[in-house]
Amino acid sequence: MSNTPEMTDFNLDDIMHYRTSSHESYLSIDFAAYINDLMQNIAVFGAGIALLKHGKLEVVAGSSPKVCTINPGSFYTQQTFKNAQVTEMMMPFGSVKHDKQSVINELDVHYYYGVPLFIASNECIGCLFIFNCHSAHLTEQAKLSIKFVVQLLESKMALADAHHVYHEALNFQSMIVNNSDNFIFVKNHKFEIIFANNAFLSLYPEAQRDKVIGYTTVEEYEPDQVELFLANDKTAFTQGVHKCLETIAFPNGEIRTVETTKTRFMYDEESFIVGICVDLTEQQHLVQQFEAKQNELSQFADLATHDMRKPLNNIHQLVDYIIEDNEMNFDNTTHSQLNEIQSRCRSMSTFLSDMYEYAQIGQEKVTATTFNPKYLVAEMAYLFDIPSTMRLTVSDIEVTLPQVPVKMILLQLLTNAVNHYGASTGTITVDVDIVKHGVTMRVTDSGQGMNDLLQKNAFELINHANRNKHVKGSGKGLPMVKKLIEQYRGKVTLTSRLNEGTAVTVFWPN
């Protein structure tokens, strides 16, 4: 205890950080009742409670209206709060002129006793204080009474804070589930719905929504139908989890395809299941459309392959007849040319088979195989007619990729490189590298290159009516490459400089 009160400048803004976690939930407590009880048990002139309110210390309860008007920032309460410890002060007669705090609302205060209030072990949020207008210490019994009230207050505030945190958690959880597009519900062991989010409730007409929570929603069905509807629920309760894809006609008239996962959990020694339904209606519709188009593509490829292979086989057979009937009359050059025709027919037939296999992509999984791009390019060199005066180099490395689409992409890129080279001599390079997340293939030429406009539209299907008639090809090679590689989650990039060449890089992800 100090006979001369020590007063220092104190800025309450400095302790704003003291109260951030509980959002001042303690302010909802009826503190006046505690002050009234205290005043009945101890003989003092006045008592009050000062707490942080919106970042400032304020009196939230007092034994009289005058006490409630005290400014805690200009009273001894600030020392109790700042030091976070019990404060006891005696103001002797004659000290009033020297201490403005000792006079509050025309009351001559000669004794002050304050006890800090904590919401947590190290978080002081205010104090309980008493004062007298005469110089007399509190008895030990009175101090014990104050200590008891402080303990009650701290327990009450901690409980209020816990309730606040609990309700905040519930509100946050509710916000999450109610902002989800998934249909979420919880059922008890009686198969009654005890919780449903907004998305789930929207599946019912508005007039029926008050018959969802607390109901099984199958009350009006026949027993055999009820057994069918609840079969998956029973499996989830028995096995712990059940997952299925189902098409359901909901009460609001919508028919949706959902992937439903029901998981058992325990709460308060009771079993429940939480169900999460992911709406796959649109995805299923897109899958069906894709499968239909793939089927059409497959049928077209089958027909085209059959119709094109037949004349190739006829040409091959006709050459056989020519050789057989005139073998003795042909010189070596003629024999070589006829054999080349048959070789080209066989190669084209093989290529048609590859095209047919590619058309099946999406219907059946294309298995990756291990191969060497150097030999793959050599096998199809005849298809892009590289001049004998032009040099082609390919990396000698083994990779594991779906071979047919790789072949299609390399064919398009090499054909482009040859057709757009602008000269009959030069170098085309195919660099293949195994990188961290996949394989890169880069086809580089030192040909005529592309201007900025051509580069900008290189991967777009545009009108090619005005393109150079002396350049071979349809101009749809790069768009085809882009479409192919994107089916495998890969990407293609292009860099080019006019009169210096072009490089196209394809990335195949693992």
Q: What is the pLDDT of residue 464?
A: 44
Q: What is the pLDDT of residue 94?
A: 40
Q: What is the pLDDT of residue 11?
A: 41
Same domain, 157 and 25: yes
In the numeric block, the tokens 């919106």 are attached to 54
Same domain, 48 and 152: yes
Residue 105 located in a structural domain: yes
Residue 4 located in a structural domain: no
Q: If you ran DSSP here, which 8-state letter would residue 117 be given?
A: E
Same domain, 489 and 427: yes
Q: What is the pLDDT of residue 237?
A: 96
Same domain, 229 and 86: no
Residue 272 located in a structural domain: yes
The pLDDT tens digits of the residues spanning 445-484 come to 988 888 888 888 888 865 444 444 444 444 567 888 888 8
Which stretches of the chain drop beneath a pLDDT of 70? 1-23, 92-107, 354-355, 357-366, 422, 461-476
Picking from 401, 421, 406, the residue whose alpha carbon sits closest to that of residue 473 is 421
- Alpha-carbon separation of residue 477 from 89, 386, 461, 487 (angstroms): 93, 17, 10, 16
In the numeric block, the tokens 């089927």 are attached to 295
Residue 2 located in a structural domain: no
Rounded Cα distance, 505 and 492, in Å? 6
pTM for this entry: 0.51
Rounded Cα distance, 29 and 57, in Å? 16
- Find the farthest-apart pair of alpha carbons in the chain and give their distance in angstroms, rounded: 145
Rounded Cα distance, 437 and 163, in Å? 50
Same domain, 389 and 450: yes
Would you state the torsion angle of the CA atoms of residues 268, 269, 273, 276, taken in this order, to the nearest 10 degrees? Answer: 40
Q: What is the pLDDT of residue 88?
A: 94
End residue of a domain, out of 133, 168, 203? 168
Q: What is the pLDDT of residue 113?
A: 96
Domain CATH number, residue 201? 3.30.450.20
Residue 95 located in a structural domain: yes
End residue of a domain, out of 168, 200, 219? 168
Q: What is the pLDDT of residue 96?
A: 41
Backbone angles phi, psi at 182, to 5 degrees: -75, 150
Distance of CA 319 to the CA centre of its chain: 63
End residue of a domain, out of 333, 363, 393? 363
The pLDDT tens digits of the residues spanning 2-59 come to 443 443 343 434 333 333 444 678 888 899 999 999 999 999 999 999 999 888 999 9
Residue 286 located in a structural domain: no
Domain CATH number, residue 413? 3.30.565.10
Beta pairing, strands 426-435 & 390-394: parallel
Q: Containing domain of residue 47, as a range? A: 12-168
Same domain, 359 and 403: no
Q: What is the pLDDT of residue 15?
A: 34
Domain count, the chain: 4
Residue 175 located in a structural domain: no
Rounded Cα distance, 477 and 255, in Å? 43
Residue 284 located in a structural domain: no
Same domain, 125 and 21: yes
Give me the amino acid identity at 375: Y
Same domain, 274 and 300: no
Q: What is the pLDDT of residue 6?
A: 43
Query: Would you state the structure tokens that stand for residue 19, as one six-digit string?
Result: 């109260």
E strand or H helix at 178: helix 140-178
Residues in the chain, overall count: 510
Same domain, 415 and 434: yes
Same domain, 222 and 347: no
Q: What is the pLDDT of residue 103?
A: 52
Q: What is the pLDDT of residue 107?
A: 67
Query: Would you state the structure tokens that stand for residue 470, as one six-digit string?
Result: 């002396």
Same domain, 352 and 417: no
Same domain, 41 and 159: yes
